[in-house]
Structure 1
Amino acid sequence: MGFLRARHDEAPVLGCDPADLAEVEQIVVRSGTSFGKGMRILPPDRRYGMYAVYAFCRLVDDVADDEGEPDDKCRRLEEWRARIARLYAGEARDGIDRVLLATIRRFDLRQQDFNDVIDGMEMDARGPIVAPDEATFDLYCDRVASAVGRLSVRVFGDSSAHADQVAYHLGRALQITNILRDVAEDARLGRLYLPRELLERFGIPPEPDAVVRAPRLEQVGRILAGRAHDHFRAASRAMRLCDRTAMRPARVMGATYAAILAAQERQGWGTPDKRVSLSRPRKVLVALRALVA
């Protein structure tokens, strides 16, 4: 288990009971993601604050990805919206609530950012997203990625307008990268996140199965990759105006996903079933370079 108390005479992390902290950390551990390891560069309060934000995102994402009926999933997401409202009224009912409440208070997190994440999950919960228009595509990226970034930069240690710009651009860059490497996986779930206007421009039917087989998917991928690179560059410019120490996790995430996008571009989109990934040594090297840059 992670760092819960430094010494017996020090206050608990975030002022929380170690059992509550362990409950939140277990959600991160069970997810199997490398997120927990990546957050080890943060001091304990910020690390467990990020675990709390991740736990919230994981739990609402699980609702959206559940095989239940759309109405039931939307009802459960509304329960989460009410749960967040209770936290901002100072009411915590369980361990996860207590750590989230401590995180909200410690880092002055905004209720609207939590609600934006829930709104994004609701977009998926209402039924598979299939070839959204450009405005909906951008709104989805903002809700499921940039809103998470707006919560995260505050936990990292920078609540400035420049940090919000990092969240705006880096969130979109990361989400577009994910969409581009998950085209085939999303299609198997009946989902298609690529913008309708781009598909129509290249004569590709706006249908998940058709996109996977479309020879001109390559052109769509190249255009969206270019957009992602623009967002990576804009995020990097905004980072230079932020607290350098606070931006360390953002720099690592940006560098890692930029490397994934570059690998996807080298592979192209002719074999979308072959999902791009980085080897562990490559991830470590990319992270180290980002930390010393």
Structure 2
Amino acid sequence: MATSMVQSVGTLKKIDRTHLRIPGFLWRKHRLWPGRMYATTKTRGPSNNTQYCLDIIKQNDYENFLSVLLLPQNARATAVALRAFNVELAQIQDVTSEILMAKMRLQFWRETIDQLYMGNTPGQPVALGLHRAVRRHQLSKRWLRSLIDSREEQLDCRQFTSLAAVENYSEKSNSALYYLLLQGMGVESVHADHAASHLGKAEGIMRLLRGIPYHGTKRKVLLPRDLMMKHGVSQEDVIRGGREQKVKDVIYDVASQSYQHLEHARSFLNDVPKEARVCLLPSVAVSSYLKSLQKVHFDVFDSRLQIRNNLLPFLMLWKKVLNKY
């Protein structure tokens, strides 16, 4: 098993592994094989296309970059395309200053997805990867559109009215991605879908918590309004980085919900097909952050939470060895 799990990424000659903080043995042995397994075009070779997708995942979604490296070779190219697509969508709000421009970019992706299912080959590198994935695995157009629609719903950074609203958004933006990843692995299992749904919600809530300091610098507060009112916390308390107990109480309530979804996802372990469990390895990163948050007594502004966990590659690899998530 240890031999089969370590095969991935030969197209990344230009990426310096010292910048990735990935163990050398994991980097050397996880190599994506260049050639026919990747989409090709006249304007961009397969190696360059794959490297582009992996590079944006590595730079913007390090934890899921690690999870991609641990996937089986026959599912890895599809996962790379899907993760890169998700990064592209997530970045739209950060790189555009006007909502109209952001909507135009999302509309571009909607039209691109439509073209994929009409059999047209796109020229954009991420879209090329999606084109290959759709052809190979018959990915659900519904879930791809869900990733786009969920981002548009949050373009104006409205504060979530309740924790249920956060869960609903996470289902559309995170869980849908896991459904697609499972399709890319050829897994059809109700239990795997249930685990993916809860993991997607747990991860979405965790990302909300982790993004609080960043959004605060932009004077944006996304924490559920009902919980803030319950504990007497104002938006200004969060924006200024308040570390009072009432702020920690809000964080605790939100983090507890993420933990419950994580535990619920793991409760399906024995029912989830063994080949599907590796798809759910990002649960290790979610668990790692929640434990770190607990150690700092739910002070989401503690600088230690911004330090990358260099043990994460080993923890994820060990979970794969145990065939758990």
Q: What percentage of aligned pairs have identical amino acids?
A: 20
| Equivalent position of 2:137 in the other structure | 107
| Alpha-carbon offset, residue 4 of structure 1 | 5.6
Letter in structure 2 aligned against 1:12: R
1:250-269 mapped onto 2 (5 Å cutoff):
250=280, 252-269=281-298
Conservation of the 8 A alpha-carbon contact between 1:21 and 1:48: no
Conservation of the 8 A alpha-carbon contact between 2:53 and 2:81: no
Could you tell me which of 27, 36, 44 is aligned with 1:12?
36
| Alpha-carbon offset, residue 73 of structure 1 | 0.8
Could you tell me which of 90, 99, 103 is aligned with 1:70?
99
State whether structure 2 residue 192 is matched by structure 1 residue 166: no
Question: In the superposition, relative to structure 1, how do residues 253 and 270 fare at CA in structure 2: closer, same or farther (>3 Å)?
Answer: closer
Question: In terms of mean alpha carbon deviation, does 78-87 or 21-30 score higher?
Answer: 21-30
| Alpha-carbon offset, residue 105 of structure 1 | 2.6
What SS does structure 2 have at the residue aligned with 1:128?
coil
Question: In the superposition, relative to structure 1, how do residues 36 and 16 fare at CA in structure 2: closer, same or farther (>3 Å)?
Answer: farther
Could you tell me which of 233, 250, 275 is aligned with 2:263?
233
| Equivalent position of 2:16 in the other structure | none
Distance 1:76 1:189 in 2: 22
What SS does structure 1 have at the residue aligned with 2:275?
coil
Letter in structure 2 aligned against 1:13: M
State whether structure 2 residue 50 is matched by structure 1 residue 28: no
Moved over 6 A (4+): none
Distance 1:218 1:144 in 2: 26
What SS does structure 2 have at the residue aligned with 1:222?
helix
1:1-293 mapped onto 2 (5 Å cutoff):
1-2=11-12, 3=31, 5=33, 12-13=36-37, 16=40, 19-20=45-46, 22-30=48-56, 31-32=58-59, 33-34=61-62, 35-94=64-123, 95-125=125-155, 127-207=156-236, 208-209=238-239, 212-250=242-280, 252-270=281-299, 272-274=301-303, 276=305, 277-280=307-310, 282-291=311-320, 292=322, 293=324
What SS does structure 1 have at the residue aligned with 2:282?
helix
Q: What per-residue deviation string (whole Å, max 9, x for no partner) do you get for residues 222-254 of structure 1?
A: 22222112111111123432221221141x311
| Alpha-carbon offset, residue 15 of structure 1 | 6.3
Higher helix share: 1
Distance 1:5 1:134 in 2: 43
Q: CA RMSD in A?
A: 2.5
TM-score when normalising by structure 1: 0.87
TM-score when normalising by structure 2: 0.79
Question: In terms of mean alpha carbon deviation, does 169-178 or 27-36 score higher?
Answer: 27-36
Letter in structure 2 aligned against 1:26: Y
Unaligned runs of 5+ in 2: 1-10, 13-30
Letter in structure 2 aligned against 1:150: Y
| Alpha-carbon offset, residue 171 of structure 1 | 0.7
Question: In terms of mean alpha carbon deviation, does 87-96 or 14-23 score higher?
Answer: 14-23
Distance 2:160 2:318 in 1: 37
| Equivalent position of 2:8 in the other structure | none
